[in-house]
Structure 1
Amino acid sequence: MRNVSEVIEQYLKQTLQQSPEGVIEIQRNDLADQFNCVPSQINYVISTRFTLEKGYIVESKRGGGGYIRIQKIELNSHGEVLDHIFQTISTHMDQSASEGLLYQLREGGFITKREESLMRAATNREVLTLKLPLRDEIRAKLLKAMLISLLSCR
């Protein structure tokens, strides 16, 4: 049986897919009521599963009429993918962010499951046994070089 976070994530992704604009606006409290959970559970799902690295832009407006807007980043061309890689990978990248980016690229069909697995293995903190921030700097350089090389071959 799936946990509440997975159910909320699936609901939001399905709602996004059904949206003609690729954007949804939700009320955190309304969604919490719908799934019979606390509003912080909604925050957790959005902050961990709808990140830039995973291909989403999240905006929030607080207050009485506040909302959370989630937009899926569509990568339709080779140039858009490369731009997204350069925008997402700066001088440092932690493991969670790198895994999110790889997930997004695999889901979009830009890399294979095997390529994702190899890059995850090469950039894993268990392999890059360096102290921070050097580890995140090396991970960013490795990932950027591998992705650019791989995508340039296609």
Structure 2
Amino acid sequence: MPMRLSDYIEDFIRESLKENNGIFEFNRNLMASNMNCVPSQISYVIATRFNNDNGYMVTSRRGGKGSIEIRQLFSGENEQLELIEHLLQNLPGSLSEHDLSVYLDNLGMLELLDDKQQSLCRAVMSDGSLAAVAPEERKNLRADMLKNLLAELAKEYNDF
């Protein structure tokens, strides 16, 4: 399956964060130009994959030489456990399938879940699997399921 542009942008930002000790500052328009996309595509990736809920702080500086700074909130020895606890505290009460997918992608990028585990979670928490549940309740159930998954991951990291 070919890589989507948003995945490519995300990978670039994550790699830049790794190379710069968890801080990456850039000009959105310049990045968009270098990646042959519109600036709103960069904004979309930042808003959906690098927000506070996912363990990042994003700061924008306006003006002629405006820039965006992305800073990882957690790094160091207990990074995974701190991030899991942060996600648990900030997870919304309902999640669409798309929202779930973004969370699972982030858990994968942080090496908390491998590809197979992510696929299994997507399958188990999909609308198809939750068909017996009323449509308005599926999002709530999906959020509860992800909270249980995160709590189980936290237990694993507490054991180390």
Deviates more, 1:103-112 or 1:92-101: 103-112
What SS does the corresponding residue of 2:142 show, helix, strand or coil? helix
Runs (5+) with no aligned partner, structure 2: none
Q: Which residue number in structure 2 is paired with residue 135 of structure 1?
A: 138
Matched letter for residue 19 of structure 1: N
Q: Which shows bigger deviation, 121-130 or 142-151? A: 142-151
- The one-letter code matched in structure 2 to 1:25 is E
Structure 1's unaligned 5+ residue stretches are none
Please tell me whether the aligned partners of residues 91 and 143 of structure 2 are also in contact (alpha carbons under 8 angstroms).
yes
TM-score calculated relative to the size of structure 2: 0.71
Q: 1:150 deviation in Å?
A: 4.9
How many residue pairs get aligned? The number is 152
Moved more, 3-12 or 90-99: 3-12
Aligned-partner Cα distance in 2 for 1:35–1:150: 35
Tell me, yes or no, if the aligned pair for 2:54 and 2:87 is still in contact at 8 Å: no
Check the 8 A contact 2:93/2:143 in 1, yes or no. Answer: yes
Query: Mean alpha-carbon deviation: is it higher for 47-56 or for 27-36?
Result: 47-56
For 2:124 and 2:144, the matched residues in 1 are separated by 12
Query: How many angstroms does 1:48 deviate by?
Result: 4.0
C-alpha change, 1:58 and 1:99, in structure 2 (3 Å) is same
**Deviations 1:43-90 (CA, angstroms, capped at 9, x unpaired):** 233334434555543332333343211123436536414412313323
Find the counterpart in structure 2 of residue 8 from structure 1.
Answer: 9
Please give the TM-score of this superposition, normalised by the length of structure 1: 0.73
d(CA) in 2 for partners of 1:4, 1:116:
20
Equivalents in 1 of 2:104, 2:42: separation in Å?
24
